[in-house]
Structure 1
Amino acid sequence: MTASDFKAWAKAVLARLAVRLRPHLRPRTLLLLPALFVLYVLVLIPFTPGIRDIRRAKVDRPAQIYSADGKLLAEFKPTHREWVSLKEISPQVVDALIATEDRRFYQHHGIDFKRTASAALHTLKGDKQGGSTLTQQLARNLYPEEIGRSQTVTRKLKEAITAFKIEALYSKDEILETYLNTVPFLYNAYGIEMAARTYFDKSAGQLDVLQSATLIGMLKGNSYYNPVINPERALDRRNIVLGQMVKFGHLPAAKLDALEKRPLRIDFERQTEEPGRAPHFAQQLRKWLIGWADDNDYNIYSDGLIVRTTIDSRLQTMATNSLAWQGNQLQSIANAAWGGRGGCANADANLAHAFIRETGDYRAARDGGMNDADAIKKLGADRAFMQTLCENKTRVQAAFVALDPRNGQIKAWVGSRDFTQDPFDHVAQARRQPGSTFKPFVYGAAFEHGAKPTDTFIDQAVEIPVKGAETWRPTDDSPPSGRPVSLRDGIAYSKNRITAQLMESVGPGRVARLARDMGVRESHLDVVPSLALGTSPVTLKEMVSSYGTIANDGSYMEPLLVTRIENKEGEVLAQFESAPERALSVDATRTLVDVMRDVINRGTGTAIRTRFNIRADVAGKTGTTQDNADGWFILMHPQLVAGAWVGFNDSRVTLRSDYWGQGAHSALPIIGDFMQRSLRSRLIDANARFDTQETPSLWHTMVTRVRTWFAQTFTKEPKPTATKQTSAQKPVRVKRAPAEPVAEVTEAPEAPGAQPQPPLFTTMPPILPSPADDTASDAPASQTQQ
C-alpha cells in the first residue's frame, strides 16, 4: 500500500468511526480522540524519511569523476553549493537566523509547542503565522517529496516526526550547519557560502551584520525580498531582522538607528561552476551515470561514487589546445568573409532577414502588432542587436573525439570551442553530413565482395536514376578524363564519379548495412545512391567509432566512457569493457587500411606528412560537404583514432572559401597538431604498425629508385659468381624496418616459371595531383537532380 492509498484508507476509517460515535459521545468517550491521534502518528512514522536517509542528506557526497591517469575531471553536485563548517560562517549570520526564525532553538527538541500554539491562535484570528522551527524547515527542505507540500495535517505531522528524528540524531550545531548549507538563495545558489559570494562577493565567514541580516531576511520569501530586483523590500526586511536581533539580545540597541540608515550595497555576480577538463564528456557521462545509478539503487549526488573514466587528461588537454588554436585561425577568416568581427555586412539581404525572423525579438515585435517589414527594419537598424545576432551566427564551431580502437575507450572529447559559450555537444548531439569521410564504407563493402584495389572504373560523366523521374549526377572538381582510375586512386584522390560507380556496383543496401555494423548505429541512413558521398547526417562520435572498427581489423568495439565504478571506500561496484563484434572481414579491412594510407601518403590528406611531419603508420580520410558547409577529417593510428569536424551551428553560414572550406584545410590541422603532440609526448607509439603490409607512397618509391640507381652507378662491387637458379629460390621482398621512416623495396630474381609480380600501385595519368601537392580537393559532388 502506498502512502496516498494509506491516507485515503485512514481518512475513510476515521470518517466512519466519527459517524458511529457521534450519537454516543460523552465526556469520557472524548478520551478516545487523543488515543486515535497517537495511533495515527505512530502509523505515519514508517512513511517519513528514515535515519539512513537523513545521514545521506546531511553528508553531501557527490560522485567524483576521474580520468584514466588519475586526474579529477568533475564532481556531480545536485546544485551549485559548497559546504562550509559552522566555524567558517560568520557568528552574526547565526544570530540573525535564530533571532528571526527560531528564537527558542536551543530549548526545544524539534518542535516549539509554545510557538506552534501561538501561531495556531493567530491563524484562527485571521493573522496567518508560521510556527515551524529551524529543524522542521530543514526537514521540509531536505525531503519535500517524502513529507509533501500540501497544507494538510498529515504533512505537518510528517514534518514534526522527521524533525524529532533529526534532533535525536544531530547536535544543535550540526543542525544549524546543515540548514545553512542547504537553504536556497535564488540564482542557483544553495547554502550560505554561495549566497555570500553571489550577493556580496565574499565568503560566508566575512559577512558583516548588515549583510547577514539581508541574506537571512530573504528566507521569508526569496523572490519577494530579492535584493537585486526588489531592493526596497529587501532593505525593509533587513531592518526587521536587525530589530529582531536587538529584541533578543544579539545586537546593542544603540546601534540600531545607525544601521537601519545604511544602504544595501549589493555586489551581485552569478556564480558559475568551472567547466573542468572535459565538460562535454562529463555532460554525456552524467546522463549515463544517472541511468546506471537508478538501475542499481545508488544516488550520484550523495553516495560518494568514484567513477574511473577512459579519458586521458593529457590527450584531452592536447585536443582542447589543438581545437582552440585552429578555431581561432578559422574565426579570423570567417570574420573577414562576413564583414568584420561580429558583422553581417557581406550577408545576402534575404539571408540576413531570415536570421532576424528566427529571433525572439522579431517574434515579440510581431506579437506587439508590427508587420514583417517594420519589424525587419526596426531590428536591422539596431546595431547592438545585429552585432550579437551576427556574432552568434558566424561563430566558427568545431568538435573533436579520439578513441583507442583496440578496446573502444574514448581518450579525448571536445564538444565545441568554448563550453561556457556553446554547451551544445557537436560530438554526440550534432548530426551533420559527413561528405567523403563516408566513402570508406563503399570501398569496404566492395572489398568484402571481391573487389581489388587495382580494379578500375572509367572517369566519365555519371547519371544514376533514382526514384521517380530524378537523376543523380555526381561531379568532381575537374571534368571527366575518360581514362581508367583504380579504386586505390579513387579513394586517395576522393573521386566522386568513381565512388558513385562503385556504389552502383555494390548497392546502397550493402553500404548502409556495413555502416551500421561498423558504428553508425544511432543516425538514420537513407538507402540511396547519394549515400556514397555522405548525404545522410551522422554524428562525429559515430564516424570515429566506425573508423575505429577499420583500425581494429574489422571488429567493432562499442565506445566506452567508464572502466570502473567504486564506492567511497574504494570497493569495486562494477567494471565495464566492450566486446568485439565482427563487422568486416580481416582481409577486406586490411585492404581498406592499405588504400586509405594513400590518402595520407599522396592524396587529399598529405598535409599530415608535409605540414605536420608525421611519419607514423597512419591512414585516414578527408571530407567536405555541399557548399563547404562542413569540414571533416579522421585519422587512424593502430593505437588511436581521432576525428574532427568544423563548421557553423547554422549550415547556411560557411567560411565562403573553396580552400578553407575543405576538410583538408579546416579539420585536418586540428588532427595534425593533436597527433604531432601525442607522438612527441610518446603517449602513442610512433613505431606501431597496422597488421598489414604497408604500400609505399609514390614519393617513397621514387626515393628508392634514386638510391638504387646511385648505388648501381657509383658503387663498385665484385661480380658475383654465376649460379644456377633452382626452383627452391623464391622472390624476396624486403619490408621496411619498424624504426625506418623511409621504405626501401628490393626484389630478388624470380624463380623460373614464376608469375610476374604486380606493381605495388599503378602510376596514374597526369590528370591526378602530384605526390607533393597537399591541396588535392575532396569537394563534394553536385547534388543537382533533374
Structure 2
Amino acid sequence: MRFSVNDLKLPARVAAAWQHAQARPWFPTRARLAALRRPTRRQWLWGLAALPALGLLYVLVLIPFTPGIRDIRKARLEQPAQILSQDGKELAVFKRSNRDWVALEQIAPAVVKALIATEDHRFYQHHGLDWRRTASSLVYTLSGDRQGGSTITQQLARNLYPEEIGRAPTLTRKLKEAITAFKIEALYSKDEILETYLNTVPFLYNAYGIEMAARTYFDKPAKQLNVIESATLVGMLKGTSYYNPVLNPERSVARRNTVLSQMVKRDELDAATFEQLKKRPLRIDFERQEEPTGPAPHFTQQLRKWLIAWADSNGYNIHTDGLVVHTTLDMRLQAWATQAVARQGRTLQGVANAGWNQRGGWSADNPLVQMLVRESAEFRKSKLGPDEALQALLKDQAFMRRLRADKLRPEAGFLAVDPATGAVRAWVGSRDFSLDGFDHVQQARRQPGSTFKPFVYGAALQQGLRAQDQRPDQAVEITLAGGEVWRPADAGPPSGRDMTLADALAYSKNTITAELMQEVGVGRVVQLARALGVRQSPLEPVPALALGSSPVTLKEMVSAYGTLANGGSYHEPMWVTRIENRDGEVLAEFAPTKAEQVFDARLSYALVDMLRGVVDKGTARAIRQQYGIRADVAGKTGTTQNNADGWFILMHPELVVGAWAGFNDSRINLRNEQWGQGARSALPIVGDFTARALRARVIDAKAKFTEPVENHWWSGLGAALQSRWNDWWAPAPPIPGDTPKLRPQPRPDAAPAQPEPEPAPEPPQRITVVPATGLPMPGEAIEESTPLLPLTRGSLYSVPADAPAEAWTAP
C-alpha cells in the first residue's frame, strides 16, 4: 500500500508546498556546489552583516554571566566581617586580603602619573575599552609580538573578579572583561576607579594595595612615595615576580627606567630630570607586612570556617557585607590563658633543651635524630644516595639547628568552657600562632592517658558500684584473644591492700582501673564517653582504652568533663551568640543547644566527688598546695607512654578548664621523667589561669557542686534497695596476691600500648625551691599546713615539709 500526501487531508497551500519540496532533490548538485564556491555579491554582503549581529548576540548572552552592578559596588565598598568578644573587644577582621585602604588623596601624585603614563595614557578619554589600543595589540599579537591591550578599568575588573572573569587567553574572557569594564565605568568616576585599582592590586609578600606595598618595600606610607619609588612599584605591575625589586634588582631598575621614560613621553616628567633619576640605584627598605592575628588566632581560624558556611547558606559574604559577629569568648580569660601557655611553654622549652643536651640526646648517633633527618624535605630533595645524603645533612650544622628548633619545640593547647551552656570562654591552640598555626584544641588528636579514667569509673557507677567499694591493689594480667597477655602497671609495686574506687581514681591506679574496665565492659565505657562528649574521635574497644589509648581532641575531653560538671547534661560547645549587619540589625541569634541528659545527675555528682579527691590528695594536689585554690574544684591529670603527652582538666561549677602539653611529634619527649607527667607539664597552665580567674572574681570562689535533690519519696527507697541488693549479691573481692581471672577481650591488631603510669603520691618530705622565683618547683608536693612565705631568693635549697616558718627565711 503506497502512501500519498492526499491521505493526510492537508490544506491546499500546505499540500502544494509539500509537493514542491518533493519535486526538488535533497542532495547537493554539482551546480549548487559551484555556486557555493563562487558566492555572489549579495551573499558576501549578507555574510558580512551577519558577523556583527552574531557577535552582538554573543555579547548579550555573556552579560548575565558577568558580575552584577550591585556586586561591583559591594567590592568597591568592601566591609569585612568583624569578630567581637563577649565584652565587645575586637578579636579579628576577616579581610579578603592583607591591605589598608587609603583614599586617592592619600596616595602620592607621582604614583597616579606613572600608572596612567605606563598602563593607560588615554584613561580619561575612553569608557572602559580603548579601541585603538585594542586594535593595535591585536595586530601585534597576530604578527607574533604578543602585547596586552587592557585598560586600567579592564585590569580592575580582572583583579576584582578573578573567578568570574578568569585569565585564560580566550575571546570569551576578553569579552567578559570588557563588559565588566563598561559596567564599572557606568557606575564610578575616573578617580574612584583609580582609587579602587590602586587599593586592590597585589604586590607580592602578602601585600595588597599601594599602601601595603609602600610599607613593604620602602617602609613609608603611600603619600610619601617619591618619583623613583612610585615608578618602581608601578613597574612591578607588568610582572610582580619577574620585576621583584628584592630578588631581581637589575630587572626592577630597568623596568623602573622604562616607566620613567613613559612619563617623559606623556609630559609628566622632563627629560633632564629623567637623565638624573635613571642613574640612581634602588634603595629598598624591605619589611614583610604580617597580617595581624589578633588575641585568639586559633579560635578565629576555626570560627572563620563556620562563618563561611553560615554566610553561604544565608546569602551573605564575609568579606563585603559588614557582618558583626558576637562570640562567647571572654577577653580577660583569653589574655590570661595566652600568658599561662606562653609562660609554661618557656619553662618546658628549658627542660627540653637541658634534656636533649645530655649524652645520647641531639646527636648524630641517636636513631631518632637520624629518622627525623630522613623524613625532612631536604633529605627527599637530595640527589645523593640515601646514606650519603644522611651523612651530609648530619654534618650540616645550619640544617641541624633548624631541624632541632622545629622538632624540639614543646607545644600546648588550652580550652575553657562554661559547663552550663557550652560557651567557649578561652581558646589557645599553640604557644605562638605565627610559629605553629596547627590547632592543638580541635585539630590535634592525642592519647588522653589517665584523663580517660573517669569514664571507666562512671560506667562502674552506672552498673551499681559505689565510690566506697574496694578493690585489691595487686598485679593484673589480662589475657587477650590469641594468647597475648597485657600487664598494666603503676609507678611503684602493688601494695596488696584493698583500696576504694575513689582512692584508686584519686591516685590514678592503672591496675585497678584496667580490672574495673574488664568488670563493667569496654562497650559501656565507650558508650558513656560518647554520650558525655567524645563524639568525633574513634574509640578502639580494647582493654588499654581504660588508660586512654585512643587519641582524642582536647575540645572533646573538656566538653565531656563539662557534661559531668553540669550534672550529666550535655551541651554542644558554642562560640557565637548573634550576628548583626553593619547597621546593628540582628540577622541571627544563637542560643545554647538543647540540653541532653546523658548521665544520671546523682551519678554525675558522685563521679565529680571522686574527682575532688584527685585535687585534694591525689595527683593534682598542687592545685591546692601550690596555686592556693580553695574553691570547690575537681579534676584529673593524665600522662601517656614515654611521657609523650601531659594532660590536666579541672572542673569548677562555672568553668571547665583543660590543657595539653607535648610535642607535635609523639616520638619526642622532654627526656625528663618528672616534668613529662601531666601534673608538671599541663597542670601549671590550668592552675595559673584558674587562680587568676578566681582572684579577679570572673568565676565565683564560693560556687559549689550541689548534690541533686530527690524529687520523689520512692527515689531514695529505690536507691537504698539497689544498694542492699548489691551488697547481697556482689561477688567477693579477690584474695590479695591472686590474679583475677578476667574475661578475654577481642584481640586487637596488636597489643595495645601501655600508657606510662602516674605515680601514687607519697608523703612529702622535702621541697625544692626555684632560685629565679623563690617559689617551690611547679607540681612539688607541699602539705597544706606548710607556710609558703616568706621565701628567700638564692641558690637551690630544700627544707623539710614540716619545718617551722623560720626555716623558710634562710638558705
Specify the TM-score bucket, using the shorter chain as the normaliser.
0.7 to 0.9
**Whole-angstrom distance in 2 between the partners of 1:532 and 1:636:** 21
Choose the corresponding residue for 1:295, options 313, 329, 351. 313
2:437 paired residue number:
423
Tell me if 1:448 matches 2:466.
Answer: no
Displacement of 1:775: 5.8
1:208 paired residue number:
226
1:362 paired residue number:
379
Which stretch has the larger CA shift, 383-392 or 243-252? 383-392
Structure 1 counterpart of 2:678, one-letter code: G
Closer/same/farther in 2, CA of residues 164 and 20 from structure 1, 3 Å limit: farther
Closer/same/farther in 2, CA of residues 433 and 650 from structure 1, 3 Å limit: same
Structure 1 counterpart of 2:663, one-letter code: F
Which stretch has the larger CA shift, 465-474 or 343-352? 343-352
2:589 paired residue number:
575
1:232 paired residue number:
250
2:802 paired residue number:
none
Q: List alignment gaps of at least 5 residues for structure 2.
A: 1-35, 710-758, 766-778, 783-811
1:544 paired residue number:
558
Q: How does 1:9-28 map to 2 (within 5 A)?
A: 25-27=43-45
2:616 paired residue number:
601
Structure 1 counterpart of 2:77, one-letter code: V
2:292 paired residue number:
274
2:699 paired residue number:
684
Closer/same/farther in 2, CA of residues 462 and 217 from structure 1, 3 Å limit: same
Displacement of 1:664: 0.9
**Whole-angstrom distance in 2 between the partners of 1:36 and 1:480:** 92
2:199 paired residue number:
181
2:405 paired residue number:
391
Displacement of 1:203: 1.4
Displacement of 1:28: 6.1
2:446 paired residue number:
432
**Whole-angstrom distance in 1 between the partners of 2:38 and 2:425:** 74
The TM-score with structure 2 as length reference comes to 0.81
Kept in 2, the 8 Å contact 1:493–1:776? The answer is: no
Which secondary structure state, in structure 1, belongs to the residue aligned with residue 664 of structure 2? coil
Displacement of 1:340: 7.9
Structure 1 counterpart of 2:178, one-letter code: A
Structure 2 counterpart of 1:263, one-letter code: P
Kept in 2, the 8 Å contact 1:308–1:563? The answer is: yes
The TM-score with structure 1 as length reference comes to 0.84
Closer/same/farther in 2, CA of residues 776 and 470 from structure 1, 3 Å limit: farther
Structure 1 counterpart of 2:705, one-letter code: F
Q: Tell me the alpha carbon deviations over residues 65-117 of structure 1, each in whole angstroms, 9 at most, x when there is no partner.
A: 10011000001112111111111111100000000011111111111222222
Q: Tell me the alpha carbon deviations over residues 297-349 of structure 1, each in whole angstroms, 9 at most, x when there is no partner.
A: 211111111111111010000001111111111211111111189x9546862
Alpha-carbon RMSD: 2.2
Kept in 1, the 8 Å contact 2:362–2:369? The answer is: no
Q: How does 1:137-536 map to 2 (within 5 A)?
A: 137-339=155-357, 344-345=361-362, 349-365=366-382, 368-372=383-387, 374-536=388-550
Structure 2 counterpart of 1:660, one-letter code: W
Choose the corresponding residue for 1:648, options 631, 643, 663. 663
Closer/same/farther in 2, CA of residues 92 and 506 from structure 1, 3 Å limit: same
Kept in 2, the 8 Å contact 1:604–1:776? The answer is: no
Tell me if 1:592 matches 2:607.
Answer: yes
**Whole-angstrom distance in 1 between the partners of 2:38 and 2:628:** 96
Structure 1 counterpart of 2:424, one-letter code: I
Kept in 2, the 8 Å contact 1:556–1:582? The answer is: yes
**Whole-angstrom distance in 2 between the partners of 1:538 and 1:426:** 11
2:799 paired residue number:
none
Which secondary structure state, in structure 1, belongs to the residue aligned with residue 588 of structure 2? strand
Kept in 1, the 8 Å contact 2:129–2:182? The answer is: yes
**Whole-angstrom distance in 2 between the partners of 1:469 and 1:29:** 89
**Whole-angstrom distance in 2 between the partners of 1:557 and 1:182:** 43
Tell me if 1:54 matches 2:68.
Answer: no
1:95 paired residue number:
113
**Whole-angstrom distance in 2 between the partners of 1:147 and 1:422:** 36
Closer/same/farther in 2, CA of residues 33 and 613 from structure 1, 3 Å limit: same
Structure 2 counterpart of 1:467, one-letter code: A
Q: Tell me the alpha carbon deviations over residues 695-747 of structure 1, each in whole angstroms, 9 at most, x when there is no partner.
A: xxxxxxxxxxxxxxxxxxxxxxxxxxxxxxxxxxxxxxxxxxxxxxxxxxxxx
1:613 paired residue number:
628
Kept in 1, the 8 Å contact 2:619–2:761? The answer is: no
Displacement of 1:27: 3.2
Q: Tell me the alpha carbon deviations over residues 113-133 of structure 1, each in whole angstroms, 9 at most, x when there is no partner.
A: 222222223333333322211
**Whole-angstrom distance in 2 between the partners of 1:563 and 1:78:** 24
Which stretch has the larger CA shift, 76-85 or 242-251? 76-85
**Whole-angstrom distance in 1 between the partners of 2:211 and 2:433:** 25
Displacement of 1:29: 6.0
Closer/same/farther in 2, CA of residues 339 and 21 from structure 1, 3 Å limit: farther
Structure 1 counterpart of 2:234, one-letter code: I
Q: Tell me the alpha carbon deviations over residues 11-33 of structure 1, each in whole angstroms, 9 at most, x when there is no partner.
A: xxxxxxxx999676143663343
Which secondary structure state, in structure 1, belongs to the residue aligned with residue 483 of structure 2? coil
Kept in 1, the 8 Å contact 2:363–2:369? The answer is: no
Structure 1 counterpart of 2:668, one-letter code: V
Structure 2 counterpart of 1:498, one-letter code: I
**Whole-angstrom distance in 2 between the partners of 1:84 and 1:122:** 37
Closer/same/farther in 2, CA of residues 514 and 113 from structure 1, 3 Å limit: same
**Whole-angstrom distance in 1 between the partners of 2:466 and 2:580:** 50
Which stretch has the larger CA shift, 561-570 or 272-281? 561-570
**Whole-angstrom distance in 2 between the partners of 1:21 and 1:672:** 95
Q: Tell me the alpha carbon deviations over residues 467-499 of structure 1, each in whole angstroms, 9 at most, x when there is no partner.
A: 322111111112122211111101111111111
Closer/same/farther in 2, CA of residues 634 and 346 from structure 1, 3 Å limit: farther
Closer/same/farther in 2, CA of residues 185 and 22 from structure 1, 3 Å limit: farther
Closer/same/farther in 2, CA of residues 388 and 27 from structure 1, 3 Å limit: closer
Kept in 2, the 8 Å contact 1:403–1:411? The answer is: yes
Tell me if 1:78 matches 2:96.
Answer: yes
Kept in 1, the 8 Å contact 2:619–2:760? The answer is: no
**Whole-angstrom distance in 1 between the partners of 2:358 and 2:77:** 53
Kept in 2, the 8 Å contact 1:602–1:772? The answer is: no
Which secondary structure state, in structure 1, belongs to the residue aligned with residue 357 of structure 2? coil
Aligned length: 683
2:81 paired residue number:
63
1:633 paired residue number:
648
**Whole-angstrom distance in 2 between the partners of 1:510 and 1:82:** 56
Q: List alignment gaps of at least 5 residues for structure 1.
A: 1-18, 695-766, 778-786
Displacement of 1:660: 1.1
Closer/same/farther in 2, CA of residues 131 and 498 from structure 1, 3 Å limit: same
Kept in 1, the 8 Å contact 2:764–2:781? The answer is: no
Displacement of 1:151: 2.3
Tell me if 1:37 matches 2:52.
Answer: no
Which secondary structure state, in structure 2, belongs to the residue aligned with residue 94 of structure 1? helix
Which secondary structure state, in structure 2, belongs to the residue aligned with residue 616 of structure 1? coil
Which stretch has the larger CA shift, 545-554 or 570-579? 570-579
Q: Percent of counterpart pairs with the same letter?
A: 64
2:686 paired residue number:
671
**Whole-angstrom distance in 1 between the partners of 2:186 and 2:133:** 20
